[in-house]
Amino acid sequence: MALYTMRELLADAQARGYGVGFFNAVNLEMIRACVEAAEQLRSPIILGTAEALLPVAPFEWIVPPMLEAARRAKVPVAVHLDHTYRFETLMQALRAGFGSIMYDGSRESHENNIEHSAQIARVAHAMGVGLECELGSVSGLTDEAGHEDAMVYTDPAEAADFLERTGADFLAVSIGTQHGVYKAKPRLDIPRLKAIRAAVDAPLVLHGGSGLSDEDFRETIAGGIAKVNVFTDVILAGRRALCENPEASYPDGVSLAREAMTRAVAEKLRLFGSAGRA
Nearer to ligand 13P, 77 or 141 (CB): 141
**Distance in Å, CB of 246 to ligand 13P, minimum:** 25
Q: Any long-range contacts for 196-202 (C-beta under 8 Å, 24+ apart)? A: 196/154, 196/156, 196/159, 196/171, 196/224, 197/223, 197/224, 198/156, 199/156, 199/157, 199/159, 199/160, 200/159, 200/160, 200/163, 200/171, 202/163, 202/168, 202/169, 202/170, 202/171
Q: Is 147 helix (H, G, I), strand (E, B) or coil?
A: coil
d(CA 155, CA 141): 20
| 268 sits near ligand 13P (criterion: CB under 6 A) | no
User: Which one of residues 19, 136, 208, 223 is an interface residue with ligand 13P (CB under 6 A)?
Assistant: 208
Q: Which amino acid appears at position 254 of this protein?
A: V
Residues of span 111-170 touching ligand 13P by CB under 6 A: none
Shortest CA distance to 138 belongs to which of 191, 200, 206, 197?
206
| 229 sits near ligand 13P (criterion: CB under 6 A) | yes
| 82 sits near ligand 13P (criterion: CB under 6 A) | yes
| 210 sits near ligand 13P (criterion: CB under 6 A) | yes
d(CA 273, CA 205): 15
* Catalytic residue (one of 12, 82, 161, 252): 82
User: Which one of residues 80, 83, 197, 277 is an interface residue with ligand 13P (CB under 6 A)?
Assistant: 83
First to last CA, the chain: 12
DSSP category for residue 202: S
Site size toward ligand 13P (CB under 6 A) is 14
Nearer to ligand 13P, 19 or 209 (CB): 209
**Distance in Å, CB of 229 to ligand 13P, minimum:** 3
| 105 sits near ligand 13P (criterion: CB under 6 A) | no
Stretch that binds ligand 13P, among 12-20, 93-101, 126-134, 225-233 (CB under 6 A): 225-233
Shortest CA distance to 53 belongs to which of 14, 81, 34?
81
Tell me the torsion sign for CA atoms 51, 4, 8, 223. negative
| 179 sits near ligand 13P (criterion: CB under 6 A) | yes
| 232 sits near ligand 13P (criterion: CB under 6 A) | yes
| 231 sits near ligand 13P (criterion: CB under 6 A) | yes
Where do contacts with ligand 13P occur on this chain (CB under 6 A)? 24, 82-83, 179-180, 207-210, 229-233
Residues tagged active-site = 82
